């Protein structure tokens, strides 16, 4: 105790606490209790706080009377946890971690302050912070999983021991695990009941010494990131999750979570705050990730950490993980495809490296969706199988993408419209959009909602980037092409609108295969195949995207995204594309083939022109610089796409409003005509 300097301060400050804990650990590990031992023995095992152990400790400490912490001053079995809890409360005011070692010099071997002094202070402080769970962890860094459990367990045991010491006040609380919040009430109750008992002081001392060491140790290791969940903690949280919800992929409903976290004795406001931080998707239920984040925040709060305003990075649930089908499951409903995300990512990722590196996330997600739609095309899959190179860094970026993917439907649609329009994008896209709007108003409504997503920008950028890239080269050919395309597309829209969404995917597949045949003939390069696939997808998506409903839009969007991403870099930069020249001609051919579908003649013309243009293109040497240019180009494209999409969005919203007004007027008329049946 003297070492802790608690006497001097009159209560167990945090640093004293830490030192006390450390000394306890030292004592437990058999080292002589000295001030220096704290510093020298770095790898102190966590002090084991068990009721009996504490006794031993206290006796053990008592043997070291000199300048070692006077743990022996305990009159009896001193429950460390309660005292520690008290001390913690007292030291909770110290938010900053004080250097542990500095506490040592502070501790002159001062005579033990009168026992009456320390108990009053600590109980007072403790009572002030009574909200925090007694026996909970002190402001120990979260990095130490052991401390959490052991202190809590100690708290339990301590409280029980304390109860025993305290003349039969109440039955000792069952020694349970920390997480069993049910125990905390008895503990806190007990502690509340005996704040001023003499045992408190000893308790405080014991706890202080016991926990200080732990805290010291923990503090040193937790500076890196207090919000990071260690493996032990994570395992703990997962176990707790299982007690509530056996299915690890399932949800914990809000009510169950509320009960669980209420047991932590945190104030409701804080729990509400924690909930809002951790319920990432705002669905009123907690997934495993969200639950771990919430639990971690509770632990942090109990230790005295202030709650952040927004969720720390390390606690964010991984929304999109290519390998995590659960996340995919969240999206499919919106995306509207029953595709197999599992097979999509692997097949997509191979193609990604060959694609524009700047949009890995877009590509991944778009490929994802695309593949799900094209899962039937085994040819595609086989082609990619050999090139499975999951871009791990990309996956990290992926997680925002899926959310964007959902809105991408309409964006993809618009992107495709723009692609077809290229220079004529502006005039054509409204035209193309309008028919689809009229025909599939509902779908557009939903897709309009999606349009506001930020992913549009990226996708659109890709798309927009594509048209600018395309026009320069096949300008002459494209001029007639888009013009021809548009009427064809308009017709296609009319026809497509009538087609069911299921039919639409078939078209791309159909187109893809035709493209593949062409490609197979012309390309040997797998990379080219990838791009070829993308092109057919994009092109076919173009066709299909016009009439696309919301369901289709998602699929096509993903495809378009890929295509755009794939083709954009290839098409756009004559000097910036990292792609080899061969893919470009192939792409051109695909494109021209796609156009050939609606109009043979003009497409052949265009094809010729395109081929000529492509052939005239100098081969683009690959270099790192190209990537940068590609990135810049893609950024430019994204921005352009963004603006176009924004305009489309406003137009669609206006249409939506108009339609709603019509509906309202019709309903009013209906009601007027309806016989009065009320009142």
Partner 1 sequence: MAVCVAVIAKENYPLYIRSTPTENELKFHYMVHTSLDVVDEKVSAMGKALVDQRELYLGLLYPTEDYKVYGYVTNSKVKFVMVVDSSNTALRDNEIRSMFRKLHNSYTDVMCNPFYNPGDRIQSSGNLGISLSCRAFDTMVTSMMIQVC
The site for partner 1 (CB under 8 A) is made up of 254-255, 257-258, 267-277, 279, 282-284, 307, 657, 660-661, 663-664, 667, 677-679
Cβ proximity to partner 1: between 18 and 260 the closer is 260
CB of 269 to partner 1, least distance (A): 4
CB 608 within 8 A of CB 616: no
CB of 443 to partner 1, least distance (A): 17
CB of 324 to partner 1, least distance (A): 24
Cβ proximity to partner 1: between 30 and 675 the closer is 675
CB 420 within 8 A of CB 485: yes
Half-sphere exposure of residue 112, counting CA atoms within 13 Å on the CB side? 19
Q: CA 254, CA 247: separation in Å to the nearest integer?
A: 16
Cβ proximity to partner 1: between 227 and 519 the closer is 227
Cβ proximity to partner 1: between 615 and 668 the closer is 668
The residue written with tokens 């009053």 in the block is 120
Cβ proximity to partner 1: between 275 and 450 the closer is 275
CB of 436 to partner 1, least distance (A): 22
CB of 280 to partner 1, least distance (A): 12
Cβ proximity to partner 1: between 388 and 666 the closer is 666
CB of 277 to partner 1, least distance (A): 7
Cβ proximity to partner 1: between 277 and 391 the closer is 277
CB of 240 to partner 1, least distance (A): 17
Q: CA 559, CA 459: separation in Å to the nearest integer?
A: 11
Q: CA 521, CA 195: separation in Å to the nearest integer?
A: 87
- In the chain, % helix, strand, coil (3-state, to 5) comes to 70, 0, 30
Q: How far is CA 411 from the centre of its chain?
A: 24
Cβ proximity to partner 1: between 268 and 600 the closer is 268
Cβ proximity to partner 1: between 300 and 568 the closer is 300
Which DSSP category does 181 fall into?
A: G
Half-sphere exposure of residue 319, counting CA atoms within 13 Å on the CB side? 20
Phi (first) and psi of residue 81, to 5 degrees: -60, -50
CB 85 within 8 A of CB 17: no
Q: CA 96, CA 219: separation in Å to the nearest integer?
A: 10
CB 321 within 8 A of CB 327: yes
Cβ proximity to partner 1: between 39 and 665 the closer is 665
| Rounded-to-10 torsion of CA 15, 21, 22, 23 | 110
Cβ proximity to partner 1: between 517 and 661 the closer is 661
CB of 650 to partner 1, least distance (A): 13
CB of 657 to partner 1, least distance (A): 4
Cβ proximity to partner 1: between 271 and 644 the closer is 271
Beta strand spans in 164-307 (E): 252-253, 285-286
Return the exposure string of 320-357: e unless at least 16 CB atoms fall within 10 Å of the residue's CB, then b: bbbebeebbebbbebbbbebebbbbbbbbbbbbbbbbb
Cβ proximity to partner 1: between 273 and 597 the closer is 273
What element of type H or E holds 88? helix 80-91
CB of 255 to partner 1, least distance (A): 6
Return all residues near 565 (Cβ < 8 A) that are at least 6 apart.
Answer: 355, 356, 359, 362, 363, 366, 462, 534
Sign of torsion over alpha carbons 88, 91, 97, 98: negative
Q: CA 253, CA 457: separation in Å to the nearest integer?
A: 35
Q: CA 208, CA 259: separation in Å to the nearest integer?
A: 31
CB of 231 to partner 1, least distance (A): 28
Give the residue from 303, 554, 564 showing the smallest Cα distance to 453.
554
CB of 251 to partner 1, least distance (A): 12
Phi (first) and psi of residue 347, to 5 degrees: -70, -30
Cβ proximity to partner 1: between 155 and 271 the closer is 271
Alpha helices, DSSP H, located in 470-549: 475-478, 480-498, 503-522, 526-545
CB of 676 to partner 1, least distance (A): 9
In sequence order, the β-bridge partners of residue 285 are 253
- What's the N-to-C CA distance of the chain in angstroms? 81
Q: CA 446, CA 433: separation in Å to the nearest integer?
A: 14
Q: CA 210, CA 157: separation in Å to the nearest integer?
A: 13
CB of 306 to partner 1, least distance (A): 9
432's tokens? 């193309």
């Amino acid at each position: 105790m003297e070492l802790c300097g608690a006497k001097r301060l009159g209560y167990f400050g945090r640093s004293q606490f830490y030192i006390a804990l450390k000394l306890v650990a030292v004592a437990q590990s058999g080292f002589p209790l000295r001030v220096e031992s704290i510093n020298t023995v770095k790898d102190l095992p966590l002090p084991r706080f068990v009721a009996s152990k504490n006794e031993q400790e206290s006796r053990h400490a008592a043997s070291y009377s000199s300048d070692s912490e006077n743990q022996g001053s305990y009159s009896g079995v001193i429950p460390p946890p309660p005292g520690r809890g008290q001390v913690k409360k007292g030291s909770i005011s110290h938010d900053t971690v004080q250097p542990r070692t500095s506490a040592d010099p502070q501790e002159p071997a001062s005579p033990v302050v009168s026992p009456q002094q320390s108990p009053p202070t600590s109980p007072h402080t403790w009572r002030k912070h009574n909200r925090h769970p007694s026996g909970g962890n002190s402001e120990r860094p979260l990095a130490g999983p052991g401390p959490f459990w052991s202190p809590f367990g100690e708290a339990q045991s301590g409280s029980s021991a304390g109860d025993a010491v305290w003349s039969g006040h109440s039955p000792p609380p069952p020694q349970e695990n920390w997480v069993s919040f049910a125990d905390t009430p008895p503990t806190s109750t007990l502690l509340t009941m005996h704040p001023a008992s003499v045992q408190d002081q000893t308790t405080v001392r014991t706890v202080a010494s016991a926990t200080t060491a732990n805290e010291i140790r923990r503090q040193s290791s937790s500076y890196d990131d207090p919000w990071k969940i260690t493996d032990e903690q994570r395992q703990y949280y997962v176990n707790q999750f299982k007690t509530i919800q056996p299915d690890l992929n399932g949800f914990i409903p809000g009510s169950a979570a509320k009960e669980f976290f209420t047991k932590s004795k945190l104030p409701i406001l804080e729990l509400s705050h924690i909930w809002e931080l951790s319920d990432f998707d705002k669905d009123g239920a907690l997934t495993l990730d969200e639950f771990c984040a919430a639990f971690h925040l509770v632990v942090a709060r109990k230790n005295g950490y202030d709650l952040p305003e927004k969720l720390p990075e390390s606690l964010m649930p991984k929304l999109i993980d290519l390998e995590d089908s659960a996340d995919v499951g969240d999206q499919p409903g919106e995306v509207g495809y029953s595709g197999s995300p599992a097979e999509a990512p692997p097949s997509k990722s191979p193609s990604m490296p060959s694609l524009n590196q700047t949009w890995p996330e877009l590509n991944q997600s778009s490929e994802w969706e695309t593949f799900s739609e094209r899962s039937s095309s085994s040819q595609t899959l086989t082609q990619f199988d050999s090139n499975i190179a999951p871009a791990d860094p990309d996956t990290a970026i992926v997680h925002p993408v899926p959310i964007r993917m959902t809105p991408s439907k309409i964006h993809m649609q618009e992107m495709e419209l723009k692609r077809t329009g290229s220079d004529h994008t502006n005039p054509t896209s409204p035209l193309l959009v309008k028919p689809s709007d009229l025909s599939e108003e509902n779908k557009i409504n939903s897709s309009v909602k999606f349009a506001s997503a930020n992913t549009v920008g990226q996708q659109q950028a890709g798309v927009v980037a594509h048209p600018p890239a395309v026009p320069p080269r096949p300008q002459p050919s494209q001029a007639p092409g888009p013009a021809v395309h548009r009427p064809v597309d308009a017709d296609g829209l009319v026809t497509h609108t009538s087609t069911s969404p299921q039919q639409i995917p078939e078209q791309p597949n159909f187109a893809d295969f035709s493209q593949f045949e062409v490609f197979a003939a012309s390309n040997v390069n797998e990379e080219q195949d990838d791009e070829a696939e993308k092109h057919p997808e994009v092109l076919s998506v173009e066709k299909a995207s016009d009439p696309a409903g919301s369901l289709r839009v998602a699929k096509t969007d993903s495809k378009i995204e890929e295509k755009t991403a794939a083709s954009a870099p290839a098409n756009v930069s004559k000097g910036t594309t990292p792609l080899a020249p061969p893919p470009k001609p192939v792409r051109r051919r695909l494109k021209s083939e796609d156009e050939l579908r609606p109009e043979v003649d003009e497409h052949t013309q265009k094809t010729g022109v395109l081929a000529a243009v492509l052939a005239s293109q100098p081969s683009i040497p690959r270099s790192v610089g190209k990537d940068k240019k590609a990135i810049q180009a893609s950024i430019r494209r994204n921005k352009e796409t963004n603006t176009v999409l924004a305009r489309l969005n406003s137009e669609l919203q206006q249409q939506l409003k108009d339609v709603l007004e019509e509906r309202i007027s019709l309903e009013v008329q209906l009601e007027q005509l309806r016989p009065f049946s009320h009142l």
